[in-house]
Copies of this chain bind each other. A is one copy, B any other.
Amino acid sequence: MDVTKISERLRTIVNYVAGQDIKLTVDPGLVGANAKYLGRVSSLLPESPLDQAFANQWIHSISSTTPFLSTKEGIAAFSETCEKLLAKTKSYAVGTSLTIVDLLVTAIGIEADLFKYPPTQQKKLAKYLNTLRADSTLKLIIPAAEAQTGQGRKQFIIPNGTGGRTRVDYILSNSDLVGQIVTVKGWARTVRIQGNGSFAFVEVNDGSTVKGIQVIVNNAFPDFSNLKGTGISVSCKGLLVESPGGEQSVEMQVQDPSQHEFKIIGDCDQTAFPISKKNHTPEFLRENAHLRTRTNLIGAIARIRNALAFATHMFFNSRGFLYVHTPLITASDCEGAGELFQVSTILKSKVADIKQKDGMVDYSQDFFGKPAFLTCSGQLNVEAYCSALSDVYTFGPTFRAENSHTTRHLSEFWMIEPEMAWAQLEDNMECAESYLKFCLQYAIDNCYADLEFFDKFVEKGLIDRLRNVLEKPFARISYTEAVDIIHKCGKQFKIMPQWGDDLNSEHERYIAEEVIKGPVIVFNYPKVLKAFYMKVNDDDATVQAMDILVPKIGEVIGGSVREDRLERLDQMIQFKNLDKESYWWYRDFRKYGSVPHAGFGLGFERLVMMVTGVENIRDVIPFPRWPGHAEF
């Protein structure tokens, strides 16, 4: 261990804490002397003479171990010294607030990686390091310093691309690469031969951004003569220059064979390539779902989808929710829905080969020993985790075997279902609204170029619509108020809903788009309309449900407080004509340490549609499944 590093680290920390710019005047090899000097100049020594004596003792004892900190034994000596000096009931080393001693331990802790690998044997020291890390003054500096030391996670990150290339999005956002030679690899989106065949503009896209990079290659390269058109894969090494054109900020010049390179890696037969044309119908692209990835539209959707998925995990993790993988296959037909896919190994080509008994399929011979299905929701399962770990969420595929051919339904789609112990309806609303806004903000922060693409080609005014959602708090009205509004507004609807009827999409859109002019949370729905697990209000007519309706999209989130009273739950199971016995395990959560809790569900594809403006759900999922369609 180079002890000068500890002195230097201590100086940085002291200056940060004291807001000063103290230079080291003592030999940096003398850690103890520097600590005393820095403490004095910055007034970070304790005030009382007794505490000053303790501080001196600390500084002497631990600074004597610093030269040995690169060995295990040195770290053990340091740890034991601290352990002995630490008082059990104190937060800081000396006195009741941060002193130079704490900063010295922090400096050593950073340099010796102790915050990352706290000693397991020294319980007081481990607790003390925890206190330092969480201290409001130090909690920013410790992780930042750890990142600098290069020992942490940072070393595993390659921001600019793998496989010997530099990512196009990295090039476009790092203006200091201008004037340098870089290598770009990707697919040619357009090829324009110019100047009587002396050079060509090749737009190279590597999927990292909607805009490719323009490569200007001349005919000095052998592969130039094979440049036929779109779809080929190329590797280009050349000079990055500021682009004189308005469309892009930089372009690449591949002109000098002695320094630059131009290679066609994979050819593409223009006459056979199904998507060589510029524009294709969405239907055609769906039939070629394995190649539609090469279009700007599907590329931009893929980036937004990735960003929204990551934002989902960031949001819930930052709130302390645990991600739970609920099962896909289940023999527990809990929601009582008939519209489930069956999962089996019992089916054969010949009917006679199917295991049977008295003309009935013999499910005891099936893989799970009984009929099994693909889940349509992870909620009931995730409540098992909510009933022990408090805040949890699922994010996984769910299935509907409905014979639905609309632009808003899929047979297989991804769903996010958070569940919060102790939450009331208001907590549920707050969480859902914050989650949606977090996702939108994340997309704006990280995928602006893609959003501009959608704003230009898919939905004019998209970005303004997203900002509108972000800017205002969501309105909140009860179902009863919603029905009232519909009755009193004087507008003609195809169906005029009576209290107790479902609101259909013309009502939902009218309320969100014309009355509220923004997102609205409708709550307290009639219990006849909603699922058995929703908590009944005292009026015994409504349940604590909530739906979030968004202009142009309609419902994006549905949720509720869950019934946590066993007796009431059983009444609802009966009211809905369900079989109490098949809910035995779900009812157990109400028997043993029941807690109030709430949650919601969001169809991930609906969110992607909301953020992109894309109107057919089959285009926002990589390989869509609907009746008759399970290719690829």
Residues of B within 8 A of A594 (CB): 233, 265-266
Within 8 A of B (CB), among A430-485: 430-431, 434-435, 437-438, 441-442, 444-445, 448, 452, 455, 463, 467
Expressed in whole angstroms, the minimum distance between the Cβ of A533 and any Cβ of chain B is 15
| A384: interface (CB < 8 Å) | yes
Which residues of chain B come closer than 8 Å to A169, judged between CB atoms? 320
Is A408 part of the binding interface, using a Cβ–Cβ cutoff of 8 Å? no
Chain A 118-169 residues near chain B, CB threshold 8 A? 118, 120, 123-124, 127, 130-131, 133-136, 152-153, 156-159, 161-165, 167, 169
At the interface with chain B, which of A59-67, A349-357, A495-503?
A: A349-357
Contact with B along A269-309 (1 / 0, CB 8 A): 10011000000000000000111011000110011011001
List, in ascending order, chain B residues with CB within 8 A of A272's CB.
591-592
A341/B344 in contact, CB under 8 A: yes
What B residues does A345 contact at CB under 8 A? 341-342, 401
Do A162 and B423 touch across chains, with their CB atoms under 8 A apart?
yes
Chain B positions within 8 Å of A120 at CB level: 452, 455, 463
CA of A561 to CA of B350, assembled, Å: 40
A438 to chain B: closest residue by CB: B156
> A118–B397 Cα gap in the complex (Å)?
35
Question: Would B173 and A414 count as touching, CB distance under 8 A?
Answer: no
Q: Which residue of chain B has its CB nearest to the CB of A352? A: B359
Segment of A6-14, A519-527, A624-632 engaged in the interface with chain B? A624-632
Q: Which residue of B lies closest to A169 (CB)?
A: B320
On whether the beta carbons of A305 and B323 are closer than 8 Å, the reply is yes
List residues of chain B with CB within 8 A of the CB of A613. Answer: none
Cross-chain contact of A622 among B21, B89, B153, B325 (Cβ < 8 A): B325
* Stretch from A29-37, A42-50, A310-318, A547-555 forming part of the interface with B: A310-318
**CB of A174 within 8 Å of the partner chain:** yes
| Interface range on chain A (Cβ under 8 Å from partner) | 35 or more
**How many copies of this chain?**
2
- In the complex, which residues of chain B have a beta carbon less than 8 angstroms from the beta carbon of A570? none
Q: A89-B244, A302-B324, A412-B327 are in contact. Are A595 and B185 (CB under 8 A)?
A: yes
Give the interface segment out of A216-224, A360-368, A534-542, A572-580.
A360-368
A360 x B367 contact (CB < 8 A): no
Which chain B residues border A348 with CB–CB below 8 Å?
Answer: 361
In A382-400, the 8 Å CB interface with B consists of: 384-385, 387-391, 396-397, 399
Contact B159 A319 (CB under 8 A): yes
Q: Does A347 sit at the interface, judged by CB under 8 A?
A: yes
Bound complex: CA of A461 vs CA of B463, how far in Å? 53
* CB nearest neighbor in B for A355: B351
Given B320, B593, B632, which contacts A187 in the complex, CB threshold below 8 Å?
A: B593
Q: How far is the CB of A339 from chain B (nearest CB, A)?
A: 9
Assess whether A88 is interfacial by the CB under 8 Å rule.
Answer: yes
Q: Decide yes or no whether A322 CB sits under 8 A from chain B.
A: yes
Interface contact A246-B325, CB-CB below 8 Å: no
Q: Which residues of chain B are within 8 angstroms of A187 by Cβ–Cβ distance?
A: 388, 593
**A206 contacts across to B, CB distance below 8 A:** 389-390, 421
**Pairwise interchain contact A186-B390, C-beta atoms closer than 8 A:** yes
A585: chain B residues at CB < 8 Å are 290, 631-632
Does A56 have its Cβ within 8 Å of any Cβ on chain B?
no
- A81 an interface residue at 8 Å Cβ cutoff? no
A80 at the interface (CB under 8 A from B): no
Q: When chains A and B are docked, how far (Å) is the Cα of A391 from the Cα of B165?
A: 12
Question: Chain B contacts of A289 at CB under 8 A?
Answer: 384
For residue A422, which residue of chain B has the nearest CB?
Answer: B163
Are B244 and A88 touching (Cβ within 8 A)? yes
Does A199 sit within 8 A of B, measured CB to CB? Answer: no
Q: Given the complex, which residues of B lie within 8 Å of A559, measured CB to CB?
A: none
Q: How far is the CB of A255 from chain B (nearest CB, A)?
A: 19
Nearest-CB distance from A17 to chain B (Å)?
A: 16
Q: How far is the CA of A564 from the CA of B267 in the complex (A)?
A: 12
Q: Which residues of B contact A324 (CB under 8 A)?
A: 302, 305-306, 622
Question: Do A162 and B127 contact each other (CB < 8 Å), given the known contacts A207-B389, A266-B564, A294-B388?
Answer: no
A621 within 8 Å of B (CB atoms): yes
Chain B residue, CB-CB nearest to A590: B266
B354 contacts A354, CB within 8 Å? yes
By the criterion CB–CB under 8 Å, are A630 and B207 in contact? Answer: no
Which of A104-112, A328-336, A510-518 lies on the face that meets chain B? A328-336
Quick check: B360 and A422 within 8 Å, CB to CB?
no
Taking CB atoms and an 8 Å cut-off, the chain A residues in 367-424 that contact chain B are 367-372, 374, 381, 384-385, 387-391, 396-397, 399, 401, 411-412, 414, 420-424
Choose one: B328, B331, B630; the contact of A372 (CB below 8 Å). Answer: B630
Q: How far is the CA of A206 from the CA of B323 in the complex (A)?
A: 16
Contact between A162 and B391, CB atoms less than 8 A apart: yes
- List 29 contacting pairs A-B, 8 Å CB cutoff, sorted by A: A91-B175, A116-B444, A120-B463, A134-B176, A159-B319, A161-B320, A162-B420, A167-B390, A207-B389, A207-B390, A231-B593, A233-B595, A273-B592, A290-B585, A290-B588, A294-B388, A299-B388, A305-B324, A309-B313, A325-B621, A326-B623, A329-B341, A332-B630, A341-B367, A342-B343, A346-B347, A351-B351, A381-B622, A381-B632
- Sorted nearest first, the 7 A-B pairs with minimum C-beta distance are A207-B389, A163-B422, A266-B594, A293-B388, A331-B630, A233-B593, A368-B630
20 additional A-B pairs beyond A130-B172, A187-B593, A327-B623, beta carbons within 8 Å, are: A89-B244, A91-B242, A117-B463, A131-B249, A153-B445, A157-B319, A162-B391, A162-B427, A163-B423, A233-B594, A273-B592, A289-B384, A293-B384, A303-B389, A324-B622, A325-B414, A327-B412, A345-B401, A349-B361, A368-B629
